[in-house]
Structure 1
Amino acid sequence: MPPAPVLRRLMASTLPAALLLASTGSVSVAQPATGWALNSYGLPGGIDTPSAEMFPDATISASAGQSSYGWRVTGAFQLTPRITTALRYSRIESKNLDAKRDFLKDRSADVRIQLLSEDAGWMPAVAVGLQDFIGTGTFSGEYVVATKHLTDRLTGSVGVGWGRLSGTARERDREDIGGTFKADNWFRGPARPFASMAWQATDNLRVVGEYSQDDYDVEAEQGEERPGSHFNLGVNYRYRDIYQLSAYTLGGKVFGAQVSFSMNPNQAAYPSGLEKAGAPVRPRPAPNADPEGWSGAWSSDPTAQPAIQQALAASLRKEGQILEAMALSANRAEVRIDNRRYMQQAEAIGRTARLMTRAMPPSVETFVITSTRRGMPTSSVVLRRSDIERLENTEAGQIAAVADIVNGDPRVAGMTQTPGLFPRFTWSLRPSLGTGLFDPDQGLRYDIGLEAKASYEIIPGLIASGSVRQRLLGNADQKAPGSCIQPDGSTADCTVDQFLDLTDGEQRARNNGVQRVRSDGRMYSGNTKPTIPSLTLAYYGKVTDTVYARVTGGLLERMYGGVSAEVLWYPADSNLALGAEINKVRKRDYEGKFGFQDYEVTTGHVSAYYDFQNGFVGQIDAGKYLAGDKGATVTLTREFANGWRVGAFATKTNMSAEDFGEGSFDKGITLQIPVAWATGQPSRQTVGGNINSLSRDGGQRVKVDGRLYGTVRDSSAAGLNQGWGKFWR
């Protein structure tokens, strides 16, 4: 084995290349080795030790485990077939691990890369991993591990580890704010072996034994007993490939248990959906059976288009779509549709095309189906009617090959708006759930209530909308940030009244000179009276064939109100989009109604979006943030054809890590889950949002509904192609 410094330099130089190769799947032609049993860190492995196994591609898992050493909650995502990522939230009872508390609540992140796949011969799967590579380093460790299926039911893993995995916990500074990459520690220090053996007793029951180097020195310093032995034993029971229950002992002295849950966006409960099939294509009659229809003479009748438009609009309405406008000539028909039902825009277009074969006279050969979003024509799919008739019973790829996707033209001669559509009013009343995660003092905060939403579209693109929320129950009570001098001279958490008595300058002085733009978010919680999260008037327009624009004014979000303006260049057939946004906002008061505070700021960003055509979309936003800091946010999102989106983002600005505070810089994950994936019923509704490690003030943007890229993305060529398999659904 090479000396540790040499090996560390080798790993540091090869890890970026390995990450790139693993993401493209080009390291090996064999399939990645997968495993279902989770270790105590929420990843495939033994009990405390890792294996070289991966989850099945795209798997999302969550696990919660507890022992006398504390508890861990881990969320993991199989980013690509060869890259596993994880976020973890842990608690250790502590007398000296945290300068502010008598316990340590630790946030950490892992990444594992499978470099080599197991083959049918002697070659094992080989992986390299970083454990707690961005955090305080409490569980920090690195490893290289090999895993081999020795028989159909016996699997062995052997590896070498550093840090916690070598039994050498890395020293932690009590004042460490965490959230930084400590690359100088990677693959450094003593390197020691670990191993595990797993026996698959039944299809659902697994017994595992391991040799682990972790002495739990960090936890033992808090008065807990060490495991007493390096040999651990555990069992895993799986139910329906979704749930897992684990129990284990560390050295025969410490016992623990864990429950886990996993799901895969690629595996819906109802893969084909439960919606009714679309109307079949109606073949045109022979020319001699309808000579007038084939000749196009009908187009000179002024009553023809209104009658056809009315009939098609009624048919589309039953399909959950709105026929906003139509232009019709003897051999060409263009319709503009607003899809209100189907997650995949390609399904809406396919159903529209079939209904057009039933509504249009035989002479109409060219169909142009233009998608609209908030009154803006985004892209147009151009189809020959004869191709639709010829390819109805073939795979969707064949109709995709003859379809032409072009920019939606904002100005089309002869385009007639469907009567009676505007103004258009919609509303809903639904339960609301607000959550806060990973706070060092309270790991889960929640608010449950009711929310009424309404939208009034005055003319195409001009939309007034708002919401009213009433809290019913929850533990996200109003709490003031920071500490204040109490009447007895002691220092303690500020009361709400004490915080409200502070000026903006005093608040900044108590916050490292940084304006509180998000860290006082809990001051907006706990309202027992109705609040108004948003109330806006927005205008959306398409300036040219490839340029979109938006202006939004009002109560933009629960913490800020003002004016937001945005432009986006996004050709329908381009993988690249470019945008710019400017916001002039003022901070709202804590009552959640129409009052404002004194703080006012102008922020702005330029943005670049790129679709990598492999399911991943990248985004870079650079500019000025709410606290006046300047920098950039990088986001990478994996998108699935069924509407799932899982991503991660990180923001680095000119605000120092010390001024930012705990966490060092802003980062988090994004999650969007389509309701249709779970219910099988067609719907464009999604649930999810951003999950931040902490709510701090650096790198914070205004939250504006209806930003342009997300509005038009699914009807671009890239979005349509991703869901084209639903065209004939």
Structure 2
Amino acid sequence: MKRYFAWMLISVSGLAAAQSAPALAQQTYGNVEPTLNDLGGVGLLQMPSARHADEGEFSLQYYDNQEYRRMSVSLQLFPWLETVIRYNDIRTRLYSSDPSFSGDQTYKDRGVDVKFRLLEESYWLPETSIGLRDLAGTGKFSGEFIAASKRVGPLDFTLGLGFGYLGRRDSIGNPFCQVADKFCTRPTGTKGRGGSFEVDEWFRGNSALFGGVEYQTPWQPLTLKLEYDGNDYSDEPSGTPIIQDSPWNYGLHYRVNDYVNVQLSYERGNTLMFGFSIRTNFNDISQVKKPDSPQPPKMAKTQSLQQVPTEQLVQQLYQDAGWAIQKVRASNNGKKVAVYGTQRKYRDKDKALIRGSRVLAGELPNSVEQYEFVETSLGAELSSYQVDAQTTKQAWFKSDLTTVAEDAYQQQEVPSMDDSQVLFDHPHTIKWPNFGIRPRLDQSFGGPENFYAYQLLAQIDMGWLLQPNLYVDGRIGVNLLTNYDEFNYLVDNYEASLPRVRTYVREYVTFSDVWLAHLQATYVKQLSQDWYASVYGGYFERMFGGAGTEWMYRPLMENWAVGVDVNWAKQRSFESYTGFRDYHVVTGHLTGYWQPKFLEKTTVQLALGRFLAGDEGVQLNVSKQFDSGVIVGAYAAKTNVSASEYGEGSFTKGFYISIPLDLFQRDYTRGYGTIGWTPLTRDGGQMLERQTQLFGVTNARSDFYAE
């Protein structure tokens, strides 16, 4: 009977093709928000549910009990995909038995969870999801599940089938045993040095039913939880006995405000647990700006183009619309005016075009029927926006009820204007470099010396345009606070299996509190409408310098591009500011860029080639941009280096968040700040950090985002 019930649950989860309907949570009982479980991600207490948060929901969570501290980051990447990165601090175990290696630090086990929604809740059918917990960790907490959740008024019921860590109660036979005998047993141990995907363990071995109910109380901030646990805690990574007096867990979840939640629970019939989370939503983050609503354009002051004060026009385009204009041209018949320049202020291209069109409408005579904005970057004319002057004026003056400013323009290739007159041409002169200063935080997690390794630094940036297509950028770092000097992985007399291209980090950060981070000159050439090339050289990054070239094919308004780079890189000295070591390598990649139409604002980069340690393989980088402009991405590299040669972690991987700087200030800016997460610093699968890459230079060619 139990096995029959389990098969019914799996069958329901397979009905993804059924007609979907909006989730009933808000329809039936007001604004009901999903809550997090103890391990991160939406769920009950120890167990998950089928629910998903709103797209863009981001949470930092801490949960504590006698055996484990858990720290997690949860992100609802898509409406149907929840992701969790978690560290389990096993308080009863040390990182290693060698005090000289890891001191008294307790063992930290990292894991990654994903949950996919198979079926949205409808009137009759429950929301159904399938998930993998700890799918790329050591496997100590790994488990899989299929769950269904159904809301009835203030009650949200969940029933699920768990495997592995989620099914150790073994209360029901694994239904997949009926498919193949291999599903009846679950392999133990991990491959390599941890961090790999243990696919051959998924949905195998013991299984158990779990479930529960959440009650949204009439007092909106408070939710009560009741859960039946699928784990009996008979085999725990803590290495100490964990007694379970009852499979029933009880908890309450309290929303302190829009950003902070606390959860208190009584679990296993004998243990009190406490946790809290801090949340936001990457789609909804915004910052109030200074008053920035331009007045409608005034009536044109001039009757002919010859009377237009072009220098004043160029200045106004920069002040009101952020366009740094290098050239203004007009057709011989005077019906079209084109401005050539770079957008410096607004991330929102619509805002930049609308405001720029308003300036032109107020300054150019009525005889001009068409405006054109040609977006340039390092001398390359990338894209043209044709603007109908009459439509622009109709929208600004509200001549009718339907016309809006966006109706006035469209993107196209840059047309030839050989039969034109030059109204303004800013001659290039070599000026003093531009300088800026900002803080930066470099960090990594999970090292033996310290769980959290960091360096807080002041970053002095320099940009110098020597010619329209020749750019020099540099950066000086000044250490403010760090604990990287405690990093002792691979001491000098240890023979490593790979060239040490990244694990000399301790030597670099302890040599000096001031260093040259990079200094690179880049020359860019537009070969044709779709082809671009660059050559560059200098100090690429803190650890490598050299020279290289890059070529890119990027058609206009397409959701794909392809590029190739080849570099001769030589390792920089950590014993001097500008010197080099003996190690050098030829490294480069063939990289494809793709923005799938079925994944909104998502960019997939696949790079195939040779890495810094001479290993060969592929790196996958997937990033998603949310409505606020926040970009979240993850990358992983797999090369011909075995997991044992690579070391702990098995392969290179990481996670990053890029945040628009104008979310922290009242002025508009196009700048970004990036926070990265790297579980371990190892030498395999490491890419060269080049400056001024063509994907960013040519971003105006399509709707990709780039930094």
Q: Is the 8 A contact 2:508 2:574 kept in 1?
A: yes
State whether structure 2 residue 214 is matched by structure 1 residue 213.
Answer: no
Structure 1 window deviating more from structure 2 (554-563 vs 634-643): it is 634-643
Which residue number corresponds to residue 248 of structure 2? 231
Which residue number corresponds to residue 382 of structure 1? 386
Partner Cα separation in structure 2 for residue 443 and residue 475 of structure 1: 11
Of residues 657, 660, 664, the one that matches 2:650 is 664
Mapping for residues 365-376 of structure 1, pairs under 5 Å = 365-376=369-380
Of all paired residues, the percent bearing the same amino acid is 26
Gaps of 5+ in 2: 26-31, 171-185
In the TM superposition, what is the alpha-carbon distance from 1:639 to its structure 2 partner? 1.8
Which residue number corresponds to residue 546 of structure 2? 562
Amino acid at match of 1:235: L
Provide closer, same or farther for how the CA distance between residues 193 and 168 of structure 1 changes in structure 2, counting only shifts above 3 A.
closer
Q: Is the 8 A contact 1:409 1:545 kept in 2?
A: no
Mapping for residues 57-456 of structure 1, pairs under 5 Å = 57-93=55-91, 95=93, 103-119=106-122, 121-151=123-153, 153-167=154-168, 173=189, 177-201=193-217, 202-219=219-236, 222-270=239-287, 273-283=289-299, 293=303, 298-299=304-305, 301=306, 304=307, 307-317=309-319, 319-329=321-331, 330-392=334-396, 393=398, 399-408=405-414, 414=421, 416-419=424-427, 422-423=430-431, 425-456=433-464
In the TM superposition, what is the alpha-carbon distance from 1:523 to its structure 2 partner? 2.5
Q: What SS is found at the alignment partner of 2:274?
A: strand
In the TM superposition, what is the alpha-carbon distance from 1:143 to its structure 2 partner? 1.0
Partner Cα separation in structure 2 for residue 335 and residue 695 of structure 1: 47
Partner Cα separation in structure 2 for residue 112 and residue 525 of structure 1: 39
Mapping for residues 668-687 of structure 1, pairs under 5 Å = 668-687=654-673
Q: What SS is found at the alignment partner of 1:180?
A: coil
Partner Cα separation in structure 1 for residue 655 and residue 324 of structure 2: 34
Which residue number corresponds to residue 488 of structure 1? none
In the TM superposition, what is the alpha-carbon distance from 1:431 to its structure 2 partner? 2.6
In the TM superposition, what is the alpha-carbon distance from 1:359 to its structure 2 partner? 1.9
Amino acid at match of 2:474: G
TM-score by length of 2: 0.87
Number of residue pairs matched by the alignment: 669
Partner Cα separation in structure 2 for residue 336 and residue 587 of structure 1: 40
Partner Cα separation in structure 1 for residue 33 and residue 407 of structure 2: 38
Which residue number corresponds to residue 553 of structure 1? 537
Amino acid at match of 1:362: N
Q: What SS is found at the alignment partner of 1:354?
A: helix
Provide closer, same or farther for how the CA distance between residues 32 and 452 of structure 1 changes in structure 2, counting only shifts above 3 A.
farther
Amino acid at match of 1:30: P
The one-character-per-residue Cα deviations of 1:489-521 (angstroms, maximum 9, x if unpaired) are xxxxx3xxxx2xx5xxxx5xx22x211112332
Provide closer, same or farther for how the CA distance between residues 78 and 410 of structure 1 changes in structure 2, counting only shifts above 3 A.
farther
Q: Is the 8 A contact 1:99 1:175 kept in 2?
A: no
Partner Cα separation in structure 1 for residue 402 and residue 587 of structure 2: 45
Of residues 600, 603, 607, the one that matches 1:621 is 607
Provide closer, same or farther for how the CA distance between residues 648 and 249 of structure 1 changes in structure 2, counting only shifts above 3 A.
same
The one-character-per-residue Cα deviations of 1:355-389 (angstroms, maximum 9, x if unpaired) are 11122222221111011233432211011111111
Partner Cα separation in structure 2 for residue 434 and residue 32 of structure 1: 43
Partner Cα separation in structure 1 for residue 402 and residue 606 of structure 2: 34
Provide closer, same or farther for how the CA distance between residues 36 and 171 of structure 1 changes in structure 2, counting only shifts above 3 A.
same
State whether structure 2 residue 570 is matched by structure 1 residue 586.
Answer: yes
Q: Is the 8 A contact 1:71 1:91 kept in 2?
A: yes
Q: Is the 8 A contact 2:192 2:643 kept in 1?
A: no
In the TM superposition, what is the alpha-carbon distance from 1:592 to its structure 2 partner? 6.6
In the TM superposition, what is the alpha-carbon distance from 1:335 to its structure 2 partner? 0.7
The one-character-per-residue Cα deviations of 1:19-51 (angstroms, maximum 9, x if unpaired) are xx79xxx86243486843111111111110111
Q: What SS is found at the alignment partner of 2:624?
A: strand
Amino acid at match of 1:385: A
Provide closer, same or farther for how the CA distance between residues 527 and 473 of structure 1 changes in structure 2, counting only shifts above 3 A.
farther
In the TM superposition, what is the alpha-carbon distance from 1:176 to its structure 2 partner? 5.1
Of residues 632, 646, 652, the one that matches 1:646 is 632
TM-score by length of 1: 0.85
Partner Cα separation in structure 2 for residue 395 and residue 675 of structure 1: 36
Q: Is the 8 A contact 1:533 1:592 kept in 2?
A: no
Which residue number corresponds to residue 486 of structure 1? none
Mapping for residues 510-589 of structure 1, pairs under 5 Å = 510-511=495-496, 513-589=497-573
Which residue number corresponds to residue 487 of structure 1? none
Q: Is the 8 A contact 2:551 2:563 kept in 1?
A: yes
Provide closer, same or farther for how the CA distance between residues 540 and 2 of structure 1 changes in structure 2, counting only shifts above 3 A.
farther
Q: What SS is found at the alignment partner of 1:431?
A: strand
Structure 1 window deviating more from structure 2 (538-547 vs 129-138): it is 538-547
Mapping for residues 484-523 of structure 1, pairs under 5 Å = 494=491, 499=492, 502=493, 510-511=495-496, 513-523=497-507
Partner Cα separation in structure 1 for residue 83 and residue 19 of structure 2: 19
Q: Is the 8 A contact 1:268 1:678 kept in 2?
A: no
Partner Cα separation in structure 2 for residue 410 and residue 72 of structure 1: 61
Mapping for residues 26-65 of structure 1, pairs under 5 Å = 28-31=20-23, 35-65=33-63
State whether structure 2 residue 701 is matched by structure 1 residue 709.
Answer: no
Q: Is the 8 A contact 2:300 2:364 kept in 1?
A: no
Gaps of 5+ in 1: 483-493, 723-729
Q: Is the 8 A contact 2:320 2:355 kept in 1?
A: no
The one-character-per-residue Cα deviations of 1:118-162 (angstroms, maximum 9, x if unpaired) are 23x4432111111111221111111111112222x2222121111
In the TM superposition, what is the alpha-carbon distance from 1:419 to its structure 2 partner? 4.7
In the TM superposition, what is the alpha-carbon distance from 1:579 to its structure 2 partner? 0.7
Q: What SS is found at the alignment partner of 1:458?
A: strand
Q: Is the 8 A contact 2:449 2:487 kept in 1?
A: no
Structure 1 window deviating more from structure 2 (691-700 vs 623-632): it is 691-700
In the TM superposition, what is the alpha-carbon distance from 1:200 to its structure 2 partner? 2.0
Which residue number corresponds to residue 726 of structure 1? none
Amino acid at match of 1:599: Y
Provide closer, same or farther for how the CA distance between residues 105 and 449 of structure 1 changes in structure 2, counting only shifts above 3 A.
same
In the TM superposition, what is the alpha-carbon distance from 1:231 to its structure 2 partner? 1.6
Which residue number corresponds to residue 718 of structure 1? 703
Partner Cα separation in structure 2 for residue 395 and residue 218 of structure 1: 69
Amino acid at match of 2:603: V
Q: What SS is found at the alignment partner of 1:135?
A: coil
Provide closer, same or farther for how the CA distance between residues 471 and 541 of structure 1 changes in structure 2, counting only shifts above 3 A.
same
